[in-house]
Amino acid sequence: MHAHFEQHVYHRHSHETYSFGVTETGAQAFTCRGEGRTSAAGMVMALNPDDPHDGQSAVAAGFTYRMIHIGPELITDQLGDASERPAGLPLFTQPVLEDPVLANALRTLDTALQGESRLAQDEALAATVRALVRRGSTRPLRTRELPGEVSRAREILEASFAEDMRAEDLAAAAGCSRFALHRGFVAAYGMAPSDYQRQLRLRAARRLLADGHTPAQAAAAAGFADQSHLTRWFKRYYGVTPGRFQRP
């Protein structure tokens, strides 16, 4: 993704992938892991899977950036191939890195993904992953131990995100009170159950749109009230409308 924003504000969300970006012009401000962050021109953003964050311009002229999402399985494949042994997932503890080498690696990968040969893309991906892990990560990504009720609630939401469920029903299915579930879910994932459900719906809608479904079809299948409901939230999360997302 390569885009310029001036007044757009990203709603708090997270990705199931690693997300790496380079701010090309201007500066963007965002909150991640409880702290305000600023990525100015030339800086790299490194977000782990499920890192809740928002985002907006930090300057009146806006900002231009490119963002690349890399699935955890691709990271482990590349690291395992390089070391010839199973590799764990890395953890990036600093969401903003001032590292020209990483910035150039990400630009090279982004350019390759726009039209280079498959071989060139694979080579750029391998080089970028190795550089990111070597220069930006600090320790293995550990799986957090979460309360059973919170884990069950997440599993329920992931299995039934399109359903219009009530807070009391979700809490009862998870085995705790509504208050305990809300508090525990926010502590574990950085967002309320309703925000997580909406995020799951948006991810599903994005997959459907990428597969060629119309925005109306994607909205209905993903659990949104109608197309306008999907459009409103899709733009808040991704910065573009569903229709624009589908256009090359």
Domain containing residue 10: CATH number? 2.60.120.280
Q: What is the pLDDT of residue 142?
A: 47
47 shares its domain with 159: no
CA dist., res. 181 & res. 122, Å (int): 42
Which pLDDT score is estimated for 136? 85
Residues 112 and 196 in one domain: no
Number of domains observed in the structure of the chain: 2
Q: 196 and 99 share a domain? A: no
Say if residue 13 is in the same domain as residue 109: yes
Please indicate, yes or no, whether residues 228 and 190 belong to a single structural domain of this protein.
yes
Q: Of 102, 121, 140, which residue is a domain's last?
A: 140
Q: Say whether both 99 and 54 belong to one domain.
A: yes
Residues 49 and 136 in one domain: yes
The pLDDT value recorded for residue 167 is 85
On whether both 102 and 27 belong to a single domain, the answer is: yes
Cβ neighbourhood burial of 138 (10 Å; 0-12, 13-18, 19+): exposed
Claim to verify: residue 133 and residue 18 sit in the same structural domain: yes
- What's the predicted TM-score (pTM) here? 0.65
pLDDT of 46: 94
Shared-domain flag, residues 33 and 117: yes
Judge if 83 and 153 occupy the same domain: no
| CATH classification of the domain holding 191 | 1.10.10.60
Using alpha carbons, list the distances in angstroms from residue 203 to 17, 69, 130, 162, 208.
11, 13, 28, 11, 9
Predicted pLDDT of residue 241: 94
Using a 10 angstrom Cβ sphere, with 0-12 exposed, 13-18 middle and 19 or more buried, the burial of residue 128 is buried
Do 18 and 132 sit in the same domain of this protein?
A: yes
Average pLDDT by stretches of 10, the chain with 248 residues: 86 91 95 92 94 92 94 84 65 92 93 82 86 78 65 95 90 87 87 91 96 96 94 90 88
Final residue belonging to a domain, choices 140, 173, 198? 140
Q: Look at residue 57 and give its three-state secondary structure.
A: strand
pLDDT of residue 199: 93
Residues 6+ apart with CB under 8 A from 79: 87, 90, 129, 130, 133
User: Would you state the pLDDT for residue 105?
Assistant: 93
The CB-based long-range contact list for 78-85 (8 Å cut-off, 24+ gap) reads 78/125, 78/126, 78/129, 78/130, 79/129, 79/130, 79/133, 81/126, 82/126, 82/130
Among 140, 168, 199, identify where a domain stops: 140
Residue span of the structural domain in which 41 resides = 2-140
